[in-house]
Amino acid sequence: MNRRSFLHSATGAAALGLAGCLGDGGGTDATDTRATEPSPATASPTDENSQTTSPTASPTATPDGPSGVYVQSFRETMVMPGTKTAGDYRFALLIAVPHRFWTVTLAERSVTPIRDGDDVHLMATVWDPATGTVLPDSNLSVEIARDGELVSQEVIYPMLSQRMGFHYGANFGLEGDGTYTARLSVGGVSARTTGAFADRFGDGETAEIKFEWSKQVREQLKTEQLDAAGKRGALAPMEMGELPQPLAAEPADLPGTVHGTGRSDDAKLVATHLSADAASRFTDGDPYLAISARTPFNRLVLPAMGLSATVARGGETVFEGQLRRTLDPDLGYHYGAAVPEAPQSDDEITVSVDTPPQLARHEGYERAFLQMEPATITA
């Protein structure tokens, strides 16, 4: 895998490179056709006085069918102006060219086009600096100021992209070249927190990170078009220095007894259970059923879902109930519930998606994880 990176000499902001191979990150099954790595292409030039042009302004790729994950049509660099710790949280600010993206309300998606005046796609990631765990389920807002004057203020979207995984982002207009301050404010994590995460991430925090907007920065925001655009597959997540990748564990590395993986509109749903003794942080003396949801390529965590499950044995239901969104140091972000009995061999665990991931999607994910049928896993 070739890796290129760029440095902004004036501000010290790192530009994260175009490189990053296609592949599954260890999560592909035999039905997935892996795309091959395209040859490097020359990045599009940027004129000092023109608005940076997004590679996603006009769709150039479609998946093989009405749904599913496909290789996005481009790859870009991102400038990371800096990181900062506040309270229990560490923040990172990144900028790229403006992006077309899709917002989701229940199972309906709506495109957000690039508008006149959009200069940057601003992104933020929030994580636990002690463990490197990315923290979903926490609203994030941003204020952009210049010389003490407010330029823009809004809640930015929880998002899913192939290169960043889960993050927060939106397109923003700026007011010419200069130094800006992004004031990032995160609310407490709404998911249940357990284990070493219990009683943490309940309070909000704010961090301020400065960034430059200039010809030198714009010249770093490069893109390349991909020959593999539209094929079955996904770009590998970008390696981003200290920024952790929001990955789910390999099934074999999940704690407890792993029963298998179900599939629903391209999401992989891995079922495991912990015995009553091992589940004391989750239950009052009962076993614990957990579902770890991830993308079909690269094992990116799929948060912000509503899941329920049934466990059937010999045609009789032994458990039926909602699964609670939970953040745990060992199980990671998952959906779980106490069950009266641990699943046994040949039990059928059926996972129903009551609400698909309420995440905005970048290109390549907008046709997946929406029409989600129940998935059955045989223990």
Mean pLDDT of all residues belonging to the chain? 86
How far is 308 from 298, CA to CA, in rounded Å?
25
- Listed range (40-44, 192-196, 334-338, 363-367) with the worst mean pLDDT: 40-44
In a domain, 138, yes or no: yes
Alpha carbon distances (Å) from 180 to 19, 72, 123, 151: 28, 30, 15, 9
In a domain, 237, yes or no: no
Where residue 137 falls (left for φ over 0; alpha for ψ -120 to 50; beta otherwise) is left
Query: Does residue 2 register a pLDDT over 90?
Result: no
Q: Tens of pLDDT along 209-240?
A: 999 999 999 999 998 999 999 999 999 999 88
> Across residues 47-70, what is the average pLDDT?
50
Q: 241: pLDDT confidence band, cut at 50, 70 and 90? A: confident
List, in sequence order, the alpha helices (H) in the chain: 215-220
Cα within 13 Å of Cα(245), Cβ side: 17
Q: 46: pLDDT confidence band, cut at 50, 70 and 90? A: very low
Let me know whether 151 and 48 are in one domain: yes
Query: Does residue 370 register a pLDDT over 80?
Result: yes
How far is 221 from 47, CA to CA, in rounded Å?
12
Let me know whether 288 and 153 are in one domain: no
Query: Does residue 48 register a pLDDT over 80?
Result: no
With residue 293 as reference, give the H or E element that holds it: strand 288-294
In a domain, 306, yes or no: yes
3-state SS assignment for residue 258? strand
Of 269 and 24, the one with more pLDDT: 269
In a domain, 38, yes or no: yes
* Amino acid type, 75: R
How far is 347 from 289, CA to CA, in rounded Å?
13
DSSP 203-248: S-EEEEEEEEESHHHHHH--EEE-TTTTSB--BPPPPBTTBPP-BP
Q: Tens of pLDDT along 274-321?
A: 999 999 999 999 999 999 999 999 999 999 999 999 999 999 999 999
Let me know whether 168 and 316 are in one domain: no
Structural domain count of the chain: 2
Of 56 and 196, the one with more pLDDT: 196
* pLDDT > 70: percent of the chain: 83
Let me know whether 201 and 323 are in one domain: no
Contact 199, 193 (CB under 8 A): yes
In a domain, 239, yes or no: no
Domain final residue, candidates 182, 210, 225: 225
Let me know whether 82 and 207 are in one domain: yes
How far is 26 from 48, CA to CA, in rounded Å?
42
Q: 187: pLDDT confidence band, cut at 50, 70 and 90? A: very high
Contact 51, 119 (CB under 8 A): yes
In a domain, 355, yes or no: yes
Query: Does residue 39 register a pLDDT over 70?
Result: no
Let me know whether 209 and 312 are in one domain: no
Let me know whether 153 and 261 are in one domain: no
Which residues constitute the domain of residue 273? Answer: 251-378
In a domain, 245, yes or no: no
pLDDT at 13: 56
Let me know whether 267 and 208 are in one domain: no
pLDDT at 189: 95
Tokens at residue 86, please?
């506040």
Let me know whether 256 and 208 are in one domain: no
> Across residues 127-155, what is the average pLDDT?
94
Contact 114, 57 (CB under 8 A): yes
Let me know whether 149 and 212 are in one domain: yes
The domain that holds 261 is classified in CATH as: 2.60.40.2480
Let me know whether 322 and 178 are in one domain: no
Tokens at residue 327, please?
């953040």
Q: Tens of pLDDT along 83-130?
A: 999 999 999 999 999 999 999 999 999 999 999 999 999 999 999 999
Q: 16: pLDDT confidence band, cut at 50, 70 and 90? A: low
List of residues 6+ apart from 321 with CB closer than 8 A: 308, 309, 337
Query: Does residue 59 register a pLDDT over 80?
Result: no
pLDDT at 239: 87
Let me know whether 127 and 211 are in one domain: yes
In a domain, 233, yes or no: no
